[in-house]
Amino acid sequence: MTEALYRTDPYAREAEARVLELTPEGGIVLDRSVFYPTGGGQPGDSGVVEWEGGVLGIATAQGRDDGRIVLVPTAPQALPAVGVQVRQRLDWERRYRHMRVHTALHLLSVAIPLPVTGGQIGDGKGRLDFDMPDAPGDKAAIEEAVNALIERDLPVGEDWITDAELDAKPELVKTMAVKPPMGQGRVRLIRIGTEGEEVDLQPCGGTHVASTSEIGRIRLGKIEKKGRQNRRVTLHLEG
């Protein structure tokens, strides 16, 4: 498996690693990764991998069923050999915007307490789809509710529960379309707020900021009808 450095330290921008594998498609697998692989609506990270005599642009990262992470180059080129030590560097500004948007979307799910049917994180914006037959009456009130939570400077942390504990607490799962990864014995929870007084607690494998104040102000964009029961709410970072 690839050691997921982005999970233990989402603020890590670079790290040394060793090449484990070169894929037939031209990808590269490292023993440890600061690159988040595409999943849960969050895009894979981009950046570069450097080694003595070479630099490789990375367009995205993808996870595999065997637990390894494949870094996908921006263009076909010579790769470092298996066993070579490399240094990986994130496109940090892009990743950090993903982190800010992802945490903001968790707060949006607090301001709109309805089941989530889908979602997507982008570079500076994101969206959630809700099981919402009728459009909300006051979009400005929702926007201000999210910004009020951001301004409270709430801590964002994690906890872990067993698969059995999650089965016993189905209310923790807000997403209808994407189920949390289970089957490995435990599931990661993201908590916004202090334990026992959290404003949000839900399963999530993505990267987040350490405090809501890091998000900055947001504005809501379009609220679109997507089918008989669904409404899509788009959120933008203002800075």
CATH code at 229? 3.30.980.10
Looking at the structure of the chain, the number of domains it has is 2
25-40 average pLDDT score: 96
| 153 and 123 co-located in one domain | yes
Residue with structure tokens 């994180």? 121
176 — pLDDT class (breaks 50, 70, 90): low
Which pLDDT value is given to residue 219?
97
Cα distance between residue 10 and residue 129, in whole Å:
26
Query: Looking at residues 195-223, what average pLDDT do you find?
Result: 95
Q: Of the residues 90, 123, 156, which one is the last residue of a structural domain?
A: 90
Residue keyed to tokens 């030590």: 85
In this predicted structure, what is the pLDDT of residue 238?
A: 96
Residue 150 has pLDDT above 60, yes or no: yes
pLDDT at 162: 83
128 and 84 in a common domain:
no
Q: Measured between alpha carbons, how far is 74 from 166 in angstroms, rounded to an integer?
A: 39
Residues in CB range of 37: below 8 A, 6 or more apart: 44, 61, 62, 63, 69, 70
- The mean pLDDT value for 67-83 works out to 96
Q: Is 234 exposed, middle or buried (0-12, 13-18, 19+ CB in 10 A)?
A: middle
Burial code (b: 16+ CB inside 10 Å, e: under 16) for 61-75 equals: bbbeeeebbbbbbee
Sole residue written with tokens 């709410």: 233
Task: Summarize the confidence of residues 29-43 as an average pLDDT.
Answer: 96
148 and 74 belong to one structural domain: no
pLDDT number for residue 183: 55
Instruction: Report the C-alpha gap between 86 and 227 in whole angstroms.
Output: 48
Instruction: Please identify, among 90, 117, 140, the residue that sits at the C-terminal boundary of a domain.
Output: 90
Task: Inform me whether the pLDDT recorded for 200 exceeds 80.
Answer: yes
% helix, strand, coil for the chain, step of 5: 20, 40, 40
* Tokens found for residue 75: 């263009």
Inter-helix orientation angle 92-111/139-151, to 10°: 120
CATH of the domain at 17: 2.40.30.130
- Distance, in Å, from the CA atom of 156 to the CA atom of 207, rounded to the nearest integer, reads 11
Do both 32 and 123 map to the same domain?
Answer: no
* pLDDT at site 161: 82
- Region 9-30: mean pLDDT is 97
β-strands 85-90, 3-4 pairing: unpaired
11 and 81: one domain? yes
Cross-sheet strand order for the sheet of 156-162: 156-162, 186-192, 200-203
Ranking 119-123, 161-165, 193-197, 220-224 by mean pLDDT, the lowest is 161-165
Q: Are residues 175 and 219 in the same domain?
A: yes
Q: Does 59 lie in the same domain as 126?
A: no
At 179 the pLDDT is 60
Most confidently predicted of 134-138, 143-147, 156-160: 143-147
pLDDT in tens, 79-130: 999 999 999 999 999 999 999 999 999 999 999 999 999 999 999 999 999 9
Residues 146 and 230 in one domain: yes
Measured distance CA(14)–CA(34) in Å, rounded: 7
Parent domain of 19: 3-90
